[in-house]
Amino acid sequence: MSLLILHFNFTLKGKWTVYASKYDLNMLEVLSPPQNISASIKDGGLLVTWGLPHSRAHISSSCFEYQLDMGDQETPKEMSDQLCYREPM
């Protein structure tokens, strides 16, 4: 079995705390972008929507993290637990 272990050491209000989380690498997967992406102008802004990956539609959206590259030479916008993004104009 291959594992990813995240180990955090930090101080909070003068107290040393350690947190560790273990993840099975077989459960972590980088998926291709969703195929059902749409963009439209709504209420004076750009609305980008997408759905869950087709093969993972039975899984909650809170299990996914998305990066949206608007092509404007800014860093990609990172989102989790949502299937849309609105960019004000």
The model's pLDDT over 25-43, given as tens digits with 9 standing for 90+, comes to: 877 777 777 878 999 998 8
Q: Residues 79, 68: contact at Cβ < 8 Å?
A: yes
Q: Residues 51, 58: contact at Cβ < 8 Å?
A: no
Q: How far is CA 76 from the centre of its chain?
A: 11
Please tell me whether the overall predicted TM-score, pTM, comes out greater than 0.85 for this model.
Answer: no
Domain count across the chain: 1
Cα(11)–Cα(7) distance, rounded to whole angstroms? 14
- Residue 89 pLDDT exceeds 80: no
Q: What domain range includes position 44?
A: 3-88
Cα(89)–Cα(84) distance, rounded to whole angstroms? 16
Cα(32)–Cα(53) distance, rounded to whole angstroms? 8
